Amino acid sequence: MANKDLTVIVTTFKSENRIDECLNSIERNIRVIVVENSNNKKFKEYIENKFSNSECILSNDNLGYGKGNNIALNKVKTKYCLILNPDALLEKKAIDNFFSFLEKKINFAILGPNQNEKDFYLKKTDFNNVVDIKEVNSIKGFAMFLNMKKFSKIGFFDENIFLYLEEIDLCKRIKNINEKIFIDPSIKIFHSGGKSVNNLFFQQIELTRNWHWMWSLFYYNKKHFNYFYALFLICPNFFSAIIKIFLYTIFFNNKKKKIYQKRLSGLFNSILLRPSWYRPKI
């Protein structure tokens, strides 16, 4: 098995401050597809000039994480694909350990790396040669190895979801057709978490995250269970948002008030079966 059997996908949005570290951690003989959720031609030119193994596709609009990944996934010709967040870094032996996993001939659809992603640099001396490969129901979305042939029946990410729970939805659909998901702790990928977008846009991104977390929470549970189950599940979030909007209005905390207004709006729109329309104003 060789690196020619693997493609890496990185979907970005305002990630200029993180992308170099991410792409530098990937061996130059592995094909990389970067999908930039904008029409930033300078970004595309920069990526393709600096990283000879990378192709940058401009979506021309902010399509969201799942839909951005799908653009690249539909161009993948290799047997396997690694979906990687732009604020994630591969440990030196991560790809070698992935191919070592393949040598075990384990039937899998999705493989996740070590899930304590924030700790592996700090605790790397704690790891020993005993690797406990575990079958799980879902993995974190910062790094996902896909066995591409397994997705012909179900497709890739649900494009109705702009942000959050798209990987949980994909894992759920994989498990529904009795395919397997594993974690291999020997594969270590560092993820700083929530750092993929430039800090200059922190406030707008925070509002966007809160809106979509609530929208996606209701949508996911409605999709996989039923409308009334989802409604019951989110009731505490709904009333909590109302109470906190009232409290933060009294105490003149406008930043917190806006966050809970967005949470309430995301829930309200999802309950009314409206699409995930909210976008950051940047």
pLDDT at 132: 84
pLDDT at 121: 46
Please state, in angstroms and rounded to a whole number, the distance separating the CA atoms of residues 49 and 54.
9
pLDDT at 2: 63
Question: Residue 224 is encoded by which pair of tokens?
Answer: 């996989």
- Taking the CB of residue 125, how many other CB atoms lie within 10 A of it? 6
Positions of the chain with pLDDT under 50: 120-130
* H-state helical runs in 80-144: 94-103
Residue 232: CB partners within 8 Å, gap ≥ 6? none
CA torsion sign for 158, 164, 165, 171 is: positive
Backbone region of residue 114 per phi and psi (left: phi > 0; alpha: psi in -120 to 50; beta: other values): beta
Q: Where are the domains of the chain?
A: 3-191, 199-271
Cβ atoms 9, 80 nearer than 8 A: no
pLDDT at 17: 87
CATH assignment of 3-191, among 3.90.550.10, 3.40.50.300, 3.40.50.620, 3.20.20.140: 3.90.550.10
pLDDT digits (tens, 9 = 90+) for 20-77: 999 999 999 999 999 999 999 999 999 999 999 999 999 999 999 999 999 999 999 9
pTM of the model: 0.91
Q: What is the largest CA-CA distance in the chain?
A: 63
The string over 173-182, giving b where at least 16 C-beta atoms fall within 10 Å of a residue's C-beta and e elsewhere, is: bbbeeebbbb
